[in-house]
Amino acid sequence: MSEQNNEALRTAITQELALAESHELNGDYHSAFYHLERAHVLGQASTYQHTRIHWRMFKLALKLRSPREVWGQIFRIIGASTKTPFGIYPVGNTGGANVWFFKPMPIPSDLQDILERSRATHEPIN
């Protein structure tokens, strides 16, 4: 059961990343960023997922030509790779530069359901 729950979380992250990539390929960068934010909410407890999602946000920020987002993602990549291993991250934060690094945020109910099922396992989602 626990492996299935973490597999569901990995699958949900993968689906959000695939949706982001699809929108990005179609030139819809804002929708792509939205799906990266959803992936971020799901993956932020994992150093690997958290860091790689910020890397994807950084690359998209370059395409958006947003200096604020580029710099914001550089700082967030550093934070994700150095703070997440210690459990330091704001739950629900969407990860964009439009939100303060440490601001907890409400989690959408569909993502909350996935997270609650996976938290019961206490297994890494890498």
- Residue-wise pLDDT tens digits, 34-85: 999 999 999 999 999 999 999 999 999 999 999 999 999 999 999 999 999 9
What is the phi-psi region of residue 95: left when phi exceeds 0, alpha when psi lies from -120 to 50, beta otherwise? left
Q: How far apart are CA 84 and CA 64, in angstroms?
A: 27
Read off the DSSP letter of residue 96.
S
The amino acid at residue 105 is: M
Rounded to two decimals, the pTM is 0.90
Q: Which backbone phi and psi does 107 adopt, to 5 degrees?
A: -100, 130
- Residue-wise pLDDT tens digits, 79-109: 999 999 999 999 999 999 999 989 999 999 9
For residue 5, the model assigns a pLDDT of: 58
Q: Which helix (H) or strand (E) holds 72?
A: helix 67-83
